[in-house]
């Protein structure tokens, strides 16, 4: 039996096995990337290579009938899929730890995971990238934005909200180069539309911030007490969830949140206390310098004496939810 006949007979099985291997290798990347922030620069490099390879496919290889170019097209297409896959699986754990499970920003983690799994189905994913140019452009914009808004605050030592705007701008401009047509450079009307869309993207980033996990910041812990040393933040007795009413001699619940960052970056933090969905108190927005060893912020709320109840404490930064915990006052 000739090679061509073998290939035609077992092509489906081979592609299925390769997709399974892609999924397994992606899961391996997900596990190995845990807390390895040093690999982030490689993820950004992958994005740059993906942009270059996609631009190559759309501008050069697609216009040539040479066998050499056709081989290069297939090879670069394969590398593009691999780089998308590894980048997505790399990003998932960082977004997962910055997200809050029972909140809107966890949808972003689900989207990352869904696209990561999609990238493992070689035949389907390759067909989508080759035959649907706007899908390829949108997919690239989403992945590059996810990597850049994570990377830029660490690189530039700036607020994560500024990193989000800059990441969105760079992703949009890079994706624009991959668009099916570049007539907007010569047509004023189309150029005006591009500018309006660009401004819409920046406004969208601002309005949709609650849907985006606040990477690279991460809430690691919230502890509660009935008293606190305001200078050292030491607590005579600390509790993770249930706090006895007898501890609330001052009639207040104190909460101390510990926040982690892999590098020193500025951050603005606010703590909110809620009861039955109503905000009882929102602290002032305080500026801090996040650092690898973590930093702590605190606030308190007055509660009725001798009452057993449940309160939710939320920690926010620049319109993004860092995390939440529930504390119960028990008798």
The dihedrals phi and psi of 330, each to the nearest 5 degrees, come to: -120, 150
For 18-53, the pLDDT digits (tens) are 455 555 555 555 555 656 666 667 777 777 777 776
Whether the Cβ atoms of residue 296 and residue 258 lie closer than 8 Å to each other:
yes
Q: How confident is the model at residue 210, as a pLDDT?
A: 95
Whether the Cβ atoms of residue 319 and residue 161 lie closer than 8 Å to each other:
yes
Rounded CA-CA distance 291/55 in Å is: 38
Q: How confident is the model at residue 245, as a pLDDT?
A: 87
Q: Which residues of the chain have pLDDT under 50?
A: 1, 3, 6-7, 10-11, 13-15, 18
Q: How confident is the model at residue 10, as a pLDDT?
A: 45
Of 178, 12, 198, 167, nearest to 80 (Cα)?
178
Rounded CA-CA distance 283/313 in Å is: 11
Beta bridge partners of 314: 272, 324
Q: How confident is the model at residue 189, as a pLDDT?
A: 82
Q: How confident is the model at residue 181, as a pLDDT?
A: 64
Output the CA–CA distances (angstroms, integers) from residue 129 to 23, 43, 65, 77, 246, in the order listed.
18, 20, 19, 9, 63
A 10 A CB-CB count for 272 gives 19
The dihedrals phi and psi of 272, each to the nearest 5 degrees, come to: -125, 140
Beta bridge partners of 266: 289
Within 13 Å of residue 23, how many CA atoms lie on the same side as its CB? 14
Within 13 Å of residue 144, how many CA atoms lie on the same side as its CB? 27
Q: How confident is the model at residue 72, as a pLDDT?
A: 66
Whether the Cβ atoms of residue 209 and residue 317 lie closer than 8 Å to each other:
no
DSSP state string for 24-38: HHHHHHHHHTTT-GG
Q: How confident is the model at residue 61, as a pLDDT?
A: 53
Query: Structure pTM?
Result: 0.84
Domains observed in the chain:
3-211 (no CATH), 218-330 (2.70.50.60)
Q: Which two tokens stand for residue 70?
A: 């056709």
Each residue of 199-229: b (16+ CB within 10 Å) or e? eebeeebeeebeebbbbbbbbeebbbbbebe
Of 329, 313, 326, nearest to 251 (Cα)?
329
Q: How confident is the model at residue 57, as a pLDDT?
A: 62
CA dihedral 258, 264, 268, 269 (to 10 degrees): 0
DSSP state string for 245-295: GGG-TTSEEEEEEEEE-SS-EEEEEEEEEEETTEEEEE---EEEEE-TT-E
Q: Which two tokens stand for residue 107?
A: 């949808």
């Amino acid at each position: 039996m000739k090679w061509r006949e073998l290939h035609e007979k077992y092509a489906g099985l081979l592609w299925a096995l390769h997709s399974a291997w892609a999924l397994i290798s992606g899961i391996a990347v997900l596990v190995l990337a845990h807390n390895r922030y040093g690999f982030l620069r490689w993820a950004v490099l992958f994005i740059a290579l993906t942009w270059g390879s996609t631009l190559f496919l759309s501008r050069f290889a697609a216009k040539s009938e040479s066998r050499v170019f056709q081989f290069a097209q297939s090879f670069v297409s394969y590398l593009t899929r691999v780089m998308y896959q590894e980048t997505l699986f790399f990003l998932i754990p960082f977004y997962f730890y910055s997200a809050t499970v029972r909140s809107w920003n966890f949808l972003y983690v689900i989207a990352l995971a869904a696209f990561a799994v999609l990238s493992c189905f070689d035949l389907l994913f390759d067909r989508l990238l080759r035959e649907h140019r706007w899908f390829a452009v949108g997919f690239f914009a989403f992945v590059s934005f996810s990597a850049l808004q994570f990377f830029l605050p660490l690189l530039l030592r700036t607020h994560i909200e500024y990193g989000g705007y800059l990441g969105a701008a760079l992703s949009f401009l890079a994706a624009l180069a991959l668009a099916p047509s570049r007539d907007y450079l010569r047509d004023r009307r189309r150029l005006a539309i591009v500018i309006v869309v660009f401004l819409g993207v920046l406004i969208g980033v601002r309005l949709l911030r609650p849907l985006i996990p606040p990477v690279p910041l991460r809430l690691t812990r919230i502890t509660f007490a009935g008293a606190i040393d305001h200078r050292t933040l030491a607590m005579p007795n600390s509790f993770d969830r249930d706090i006895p009413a007898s501890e609330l001699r001052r009639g207040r619940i104190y909460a101390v949140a510990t926040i982690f960052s892999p590098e020193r970056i500025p951050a603005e933090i606010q703590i909110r206390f809620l009861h039955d969905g109503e905000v009882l108190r929102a602290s002032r927005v305080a500026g801090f310098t996040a650092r690898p060893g973590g930093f702590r912020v605190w606030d308190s709320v007055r509660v009725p004496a001798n009452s057993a109840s449940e309160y939710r404490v939320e920690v926010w930064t620049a319109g993004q939810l860092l995390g939440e915990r529930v504390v119960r006052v028990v008798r």
